[in-house]
Amino acid sequence: MTDPLNQDNPDPAAGSCGATVKFDGASPAYRRILQAVIAINAVAFVAVAGGAFAQGSASLGANALDFLADSATYVISLWAIGRSVRVRSVAALAKGASLALLALFILGFAIWRAVSGAAPEGLVITSLGLFGFLANVFAALLLVRYRDGDANVRSVWLCTRNDLIQSLVVAGAGSLVWMTASRWPDLIAGAVLAVVFLQSAWSIVRQSRHELRAAT
């Protein structure tokens, strides 16, 4: 019987004893897609980071940092493919921890911006939020077939799903900033995104710990 983990079809397959095997990313098609997603996130980071720096926007800052973190963690995911369950699980655990740290940093930045600085330009925030959304839609379409798998594979999908959510939140916050001439929608959006990141970090850490226990 052929090894289901070495085929391009990511669907879980039953082993010789009827046990479900989670897709571990070990297929040429998935590697190519992951490389394309890394490039998408790197380009989006450069564009959004420029706007975040120019505007001092908490929501754009969260968006830019997430694009950067995703690029780095997807490189780790690509490196971990084909390695042992323990190595893949530890890599996913590290990504979950880094996502939690990113969330705390974004939350702290939003709080700091709440007590300092003027309102950013709403139209700039909305435009870059929509740009990020389109980039994430493209990445999500590439990855949707691979949304289920081991902790390493699933963490890639969760990060991409988060990016879709956060880009819409950023675009909405920009619209509210423009309509109200207030910085608060931007700051609230940054805090909401931090909570979303924390929830995903917990999901990744929980699954990776389960897989580590099963491997040992």
> In this predicted structure, what is the pLDDT of residue 175?
85
196 and 167 in contact (C-beta within 8 Å)? Answer: no
- The whole-angstrom separation of Cα 131 and Cα 133 is 5
120 and 55 in contact (C-beta within 8 Å)? Answer: yes
Residue 165 DSSP label: H
Contacts of 52 (CB under 8 A, 6+ apart): 60, 61, 63, 64, 128
How many CA within 13 A on the CB side of residue 159? 33
| Whole-structure pTM value | 0.66
Where do the domains of the chain lie?
Answer: 28-215
The three-class DSSP label of residue 14 is strand
**CATH 2.60.40 correct for 28-215:** no
CA nearest to 161, candidates 185, 142, 175: 142
> In this predicted structure, what is the pLDDT of residue 39?
93
The three-class DSSP label of residue 20 is strand
Q: What is the pLDDT along the chain (216 residues), one digit of tens a residue?
A: 333 334 444 444 334 334 455 776 678 888 899 899 999 999 988 988 888 777 777 777 777 877 887 787 788 778 877 777 777 777 777 777 877 887 787 777 777 766 666 566 677 888 888 898 899 899 989 888 887 777 777 778 877 887 787 788 888 888 888 888 777 787 787 777 777 778 777 877 777 787 777 776
